[in-house]
Amino acid sequence: MMLAVSHPQIIDRVSAETSWMRRSGEKGWASFQFEDDGKPWALHDDTARQAFLRDVLEILDVAAHRKSEADWFRSIRIHPITGEETEITQATIYVEDRAESELAFGPSATLERHLVQKVLEVGLACNPLSRIVEIAARGGKKVRDQYAASFAKHFAPQSAAPIEVPRREVLLDTLRAQPDFVTEPADGIARVEVSSLDFFSVGGAFARFEKRGEDETIYQFLERRFGSMSPLRTGGWTIVAATLRIFLEARNGKRARTLTVTLRTPNSTTVPNKTEADRHFVFGLLERWRLVAPPPKDFDLVEDFD
């Protein structure tokens, strides 16, 4: 109770992260960037897929007789703001885990102990155009590195080893009030807008608001529509995601374009999906606007390596 009274924002953030971990099955996520060398990936090679599956079983440290299945499929990601479509090759690998004993009501309406066969899951999402591989699995950094190394070995043997995209803490409390996006002439930015905000309530509810257009900002919309009951003004609501649209001017023979960046707590961004030049440019802006924490020092990195 003392922590809740003294540090309400920290408690709200812990609640949001705990809720996410429960919904994701305690799986962590990591994104790995390959060099844009133009060399093809063998994503559809059955031999490579079988070899990768064997490596997954070894990384999970399960017995060889355990049942396993790899479901490979293609999906289309549609950006919620721009509507841009991206084709992604995905795989979900299911591996039979040890059975667990759980209590349940039986036919006689009394509690009985039942054996439940558990299944481990490892998720993979590949974007050959941007040369990015995303991995969702239980375990820490060492485990993520093993999956990435196995992917490179079997699907991209001609390319250099990928690098895990650094994850920077996202500081979304900065967006609780209309931010002052400070720009410089050299940036070539016409304007910046917050086009969506996602909220999490201590009661377990999620809410998303989207607003596009120059006539009214999302802050003006929330104030007009909800007034003092806006999640930006009332307690118990935490901003867990936001989307920014950075409108760039036409310069040096290049047409005007828009960079769309989505930030999610605690440390996810879509910045790695941009080109190398755009990544450096956008991260510099996010640091200037205090939306991401400074790069951590080596001795500040603390993570579960089990």
Residue 298, pLDDT score: 44
Q: How many CB atoms lie within 10 A of CB 238?
A: 23
Q: What is the per-residue pLDDT across 218-266, written as a single tens digit (0 to 9) for each? A: 999 999 999 999 999 988 898 989 999 999 998 877 889 999 888 888 7
Residue 162, pLDDT score: 87
Q: How many CB atoms lie within 10 A of CB 172?
A: 20
Q: What is the per-residue pLDDT across 261-282, written as a single tens digit (0 to 9) for each? A: 888 887 777 775 556 678 788 8
Residue 12, pLDDT score: 65
Q: What is the per-residue pLDDT across 147-205, written as a single tens digit (0 to 9) for each? A: 999 999 999 999 988 888 767 788 999 999 999 999 999 999 999 999 999 998 877 78
Round to whole Å and give the CA distance between 237 and 9: 9
Give Cβ neighbours of residue 45 (< 8 Å, ≥ 6 apart). 155
Instruction: Return the sign of the alpha-carbon dihedral for residues 144, 88, 171, 247.
Output: positive
What's the pTM? 0.55
Instruction: Decide if pLDDT at 49 tops 90.
Output: yes
For residue 58 the two structure tokens come to: 């070894």
Q: Which of 163, 160, 169, 124 lies closest to 141, judged by CA?
A: 163
Residue 245, pLDDT score: 92
Instruction: Decide if pLDDT at 24 tops 70.
Output: no
List alpha helices for the chain, DSSP H: 2-6, 8-23, 46-60, 141-155, 218-226, 276-288
Give the DSSP letter string of 32-68: EE-----PPP-TT-HHHHHHHHHHHHHHHT--TTS-E
